[in-house]
Amino acid sequence: MPERIETPIIIINFKTYVEATAKNAVELARKAERVNRETGVAIGVAPQLTDLAAVVAAVDIPVLAQHIDSIKPGGYTGHVLAQSVKETGAVGTLINHSERQLKLSDIDQIIGIVHENGMLSIVCANNPSTSTAVATLKPDMIAIEPPELIGTGIPVSKAQPEVITGTIDLVREVNKKVIILCGAGISHGEDVAAALKLGTQGVLVASGIVKAKDPYVIIHEFADAMRVKR
Amino acid sequence: MPERIETPIIIINFKTYVEATAKNAVELARKAERVNRETGVAIGVAPQLTDLAAVVAAVDIPVLAQHIDSIKPGGYTGHVLAQSVKETGAVGTLINHSERQLKLSDIDQIIGIVHENGMLSIVCANNPSTSTAVATLKPDMIAIEPPELIGTGIPVSKAQPEVITGTIDLVREVNKKVIILCGAGISHGEDVAAALKLGTQGVLVASGIVKAKDPYVIIHEFADAMRVKR
Amino acid sequence: MPERIETPIIIINFKTYVEATAKNAVELARKAERVNRETGVAIGVAPQLTDLAAVVAAVDIPVLAQHIDSIKPGGYTGHVLAQSVKETGAVGTLINHSERQLKLSDIDQIIGIVHENGMLSIVCANNPSTSTAVATLKPDMIAIEPPELIGTGIPVSKAQPEVITGTIDLVREVNKKVIILCGAGISHGEDVAAALKLGTQGVLVASGIVKAKDPYVIIHEFADAMRVKR
Amino acid sequence: MPERIETPIIIINFKTYVEATAKNAVELARKAERVNRETGVAIGVAPQLTDLAAVVAAVDIPVLAQHIDSIKPGGYTGHVLAQSVKETGAVGTLINHSERQLKLSDIDQIIGIVHENGMLSIVCANNPSTSTAVATLKPDMIAIEPPELIGTGIPVSKAQPEVITGTIDLVREVNKKVIILCGAGISHGEDVAAALKLGTQGVLVASGIVKAKDPYVIIHEFADAMRVKR
């Protein structure tokens, strides 16, 4: 795993929001970097592929891709090569996000390719059983997305603790070391605090920050909540 | 259609070859630009998404993506947004390459999205009937890939002319204006010359140039063959 | 094209509704057959793969599959082989239904495979431009699904005629012979009548019949509307 | 798990071989049933969807589907509904065969749907790590396919034992109960014997039987090898 990744961590997924595309991606990453400098809390950003190099050049926080393909260099027009991501200076990638779900054998292969390239693998999983399955594949991080939080809009701080701890317990049965992020139900600082208190080592967030009126304020709120808990 | 695209044109698909990734992508694009300056022949390059911005910054020839997705801005983690490509300065994209085949409805939608963004659509098609179908969708360009040339390794200059002209005739029945590129069977300058003579307005090439010992020499050979035929 | 297909025709897509699975599939097909005998109007049914043989054995009307794959006999576990469908006595298949959309090259290949097996190809298309593209591939039938009717729930009889005639005109520019079905906006007999009046040669319907309190009554209503128009 | 499944078991995957389609499917299943009667060894068959009902009607051995989709009853044209398979009398299904690989979340969902319908889940996995991941999803059976046996054509009886036992050990760490089948490298009776000796509880085979000059002889050879080992 790349040395520069610390926990607890806030990872911001830029998705394909226009508020986080091109110049906006660089600006948003700078806000994340500013909070990192002010609070010391680890923050990573996952912009689109076209923006990776510019974001890496602009900030000194970990930059991640949102997806890579299970390919080696060769004739794969329109696919995402791990090496091309690594060359931008990005340090890892999201894998199997619920908006970009993959075949099991591809998740397995991509984790291998990412590690061969010295990068960080963060695999998303949509429920307790797939989280456990993913944990056996030994990624660096898992982002768990409890269906109770996605389906209902209930924030982590208001949810039954078992929603989070149940998945953590299952994951820990098969993998003691994997870093576990909470990938759903994070709207406010208190959710971040609750997620850490329940045993995760960070959060994966998107629209809550990207679509916020003032993303800097929200990132700062999240980081403050995380700082208290360290 | 973007004004800067002229025909006849050579479009070089960088695929995910390591010889055309990161710094190598920029170097290869510079060789293409040098031939363009020396010969006046239009040349476009299609590097990977991570390299688009750097290639656009380095050269003054048309730069294209290899694929975009049929999405609008929003929650589409790991997908390719047209706007993100446009913001790099790329002027268009390949669509439906044989290594990245798409659903019919997606090809249709992507052409629409590309044109809404003022970009150039180049749709690949794998045989005469799909070439005709694609032509009705009114892309700016079609790259035809006669199976006789892909399956057998026969170069255009040695093939039965009907292999090319048959597809052109079918395409022209439904679309008089679309620019037709020859997307297979191009190994030597004489193939480029033959492709133009048979009625295409350019070529789409990949390994023949990317994997060449001296890509500059090959690009120049192709451009010379094209110059004679204009 | 199989000789037993007449037009105008009502084709009933059983989808994966439980009301049209197993014994229910046979019962529903028998109701369709009864209306066919009583009215003389051609009616086809498209049950699930598991039910094809039983439905063919039970009724004397055309039976169709809902999908086949672009494969030849061989090692394709879990795929749908054209020959396996043909052996049940089914006379054709739906292709590219909006719930089972396919790559352009697969649509093209499947039409070929279906015709090689002496079966009937009915390709669905989701808008005017994809309908035109599909028409160039020379299927036996096209089921057009105007987005104005799917998106809004407006029935054909209440829609602007251009919604239907516009697509028909585009299809006829590239294919004079293909049979055109109306695949959306059919709720009542008057919609069937309107669809034929506007120039289609039949309708493709699903829940309007399958989910009806008394499917026999609705099928009869549709057939009566069609009989008047012949 | 359905009570009628015993181990050790031979499961024959009919794939989409023409030698195992329609009447040929019934004939092949009868040969399997005959060996079952003569030897007492459990044998299951997995014909194509169109042939399930006829095979169930013809033989008194377990019949399985090759694939079902992760859907509930509803509007899913061209998909495979678990209930439709169950209604044929089939007792289970293969899932995630290497020729029909699935998204992780779909494998998880399909296992759930299969169990809700009281059917048997047999998940295929292509290497040790995906086998372990699948085992955490608690299917009834796993068919392991060591890459060393698929890639090289080496039969189980000639392979390094670790190729098989290594995967079994990993699977057992996370799931003590799942039935493990050997899904590759089975060409002769001695391979069946070796597979059982190494700790699997059966074999999943296809072309070795389906394409055999006399499938009855081969099935008998396999069953004899299995009988010795019980």
The residue among C136, C138, C150, C172 with the most chain B CBs within 10 A of its CB, best to mutate, is C136
Say if residue C77 is exposed, middle or buried (CB neighbours under 10 Å; 0-12, 13-18, 19+): buried
Q: Dig out the tokens for A131 from the structure.
A: 């989280």
- Closest partner residue to C105 (CB to CB) among B101, B136, B174 is B101
- Each residue's pLDDT tens digit, D22-35: 999 999 999 999 99
Q: Which pLDDT score is estimated for C160?
A: 87
Residue A3 scores a pLDDT above 70? no
C149 vs C53: CA distance, rounded Å:
34
Using a CB-CB cut-off of 8 Å, the residues of chain C touching D184 are none
Mean pLDDT score of chain D, rounded to an integer? 94
Q: Which pLDDT score is estimated for B2?
A: 56
Instruction: Collapse the DSSP code of A186 into the 3-class scheme (helix H, G, I; strand E, B; otherwise coil) and give the result.
Output: coil
Q: Which pLDDT score is estimated for D163?
A: 85
C135 vs C147: CA distance, rounded Å:
18
Instruction: Collapse the DSSP code of A117 into the 3-class scheme (helix H, G, I; strand E, B; otherwise coil) and give the result.
Output: coil
Residues present in chain B in total: 230
Instruction: Collapse the DSSP code of A90 into the 3-class scheme (helix H, G, I; strand E, B; otherwise coil) and give the result.
Output: coil
Q: Which pLDDT score is estimated for A154?
A: 87
Give the chain A residue whose CA is nearest to the CA of D133: A133
- Inspect the interface and report whether the beta carbons of D17 and C97 lie closer than 8 Å: no
H or E stretch including B42?
Answer: strand B42-46
Question: In the annotation, is A79 catalytic?
Answer: no
Q: Which pLDDT score is estimated for D160?
A: 87
Q: Which pLDDT score is estimated for D8?
A: 96
- Closest partner residue to D101 (CB to CB) among A101, A103, A132 is A103
- Inspect the interface and report whether the beta carbons of A136 and D133 lie closer than 8 Å: yes
D20 vs C117: CA distance, rounded Å:
18
Catalytic residue selected from D3, D27, D87, D97? D97
Mean pLDDT, residues D172-181 taken together: 97
Cβ-contact C156, C195 below 8 angstroms: yes
Nearest to A141 by CA among A175, A99, A192: A175
Instruction: Collapse the DSSP code of A225 into the 3-class scheme (helix H, G, I; strand E, B; otherwise coil) and give the result.
Output: helix
Q: Which pLDDT score is estimated for D198?
A: 94
Cβ-contact D84, C22 below 8 angstroms: yes
Does C13 contact chain D (CB < 8 Å)?
Answer: yes
- Inspect the interface and report whether the beta carbons of B129 and C107 lie closer than 8 Å: no
- Each residue's pLDDT tens digit, B82-118: 999 999 999 999 999 999 999 999 999 999 999 999 9
Closest approach of B10 to chain A, Cα-based (Å): 17
B15 vs B13: CA distance, rounded Å:
5
pLDDT band at C13 (very low <50, low <70, confident <90, very high): very high
End-to-end CA distance of chain C: 21
pLDDT digits (tens), chain B, 230 positions: 555 579 999 999 999 999 999 999 999 999 999 999 999 999 999 999 999 999 999 999 999 999 999 999 999 999 999 999 999 999 999 999 999 999 999 999 999 999 999 999 999 999 999 999 999 999 999 999 888 887 677 888 888 888 899 999 999 999 999 999 999 889 999 999 999 999 999 999 999 999 999 999 999 999 999 987 55
Closest approach of A18 to chain B, Cα-based (Å): 6
B143 vs A82: CA distance, rounded Å:
28
Q: Which pLDDT score is estimated for B151?
A: 64
Residue A1 scores a pLDDT above 80? no
Mean pLDDT, residues A90-97 taken together: 98
Closest approach of B125 to chain C, Cα-based (Å): 8
Q: Which pLDDT score is estimated for A2?
A: 56
Nearest to A6 by CA among A43, A50, A52: A43
Closest approach of C134 to chain B, Cα-based (Å): 6
Please give the radius of gyration of chain A, using alpha carbons only, rounded to the nearest integer: 16
Cβ-contact A162, A199 below 8 angstroms: no
Residue D2 scores a pLDDT above 90? no
Instruction: Collapse the DSSP code of B33 into the 3-class scheme (helix H, G, I; strand E, B; otherwise coil) and give the result.
Output: helix
pLDDT band at C149 (very low <50, low <70, confident <90, very high): confident
Q: Which pLDDT score is estimated for B4?
A: 58
- Each residue's pLDDT tens digit, D33-70: 999 999 999 999 999 999 999 999 999 999 999 999 99
Does C96 contact chain B (CB < 8 Å)?
Answer: yes
Question: In the annotation, is D188 catalytic?
Answer: no
* Lowest pLDDT segment from A103-107, A129-133, C48-52, D184-188: D184-188
- Each residue's pLDDT tens digit, A26-48: 999 999 999 999 999 999 999 99
CA angle A200, A203, A207 (to 5 degrees): 155
Catalytic residue selected from D33, D67, D145, D220? D145
Q: Which pLDDT score is estimated for C95?
A: 98
The pairing of beta strand D92-95 with beta strand D64-65: parallel
- Closest partner residue to D136 (CB to CB) among A102, A129, A138 is A129
Residue D230 scores a pLDDT above 70? no
- Each residue's pLDDT tens digit, D75-133: 999 999 999 999 999 999 999 999 999 999 999 999 999 999 999 999 999 999 999 99
Task: Return the DSSP state at B58.
Answer: H
Say if residue B176 is exposed, middle or buried (CB neighbours under 10 Å; 0-12, 13-18, 19+): exposed
C207 vs D74: CA distance, rounded Å:
9
pLDDT band at A169 (very low <50, low <70, confident <90, very high): very high
CA torsion angle B58 B62 B68 B74 (round to 10): 70
Residue C26 scores a pLDDT above 60? yes
- Percentage of chain C modeled with pLDDT above 70: 96
Using a CB-CB cut-off of 8 Å, the residues of chain D touching C97 are 77-78
Nearest to A88 by CA among A113, A117, A110: A117
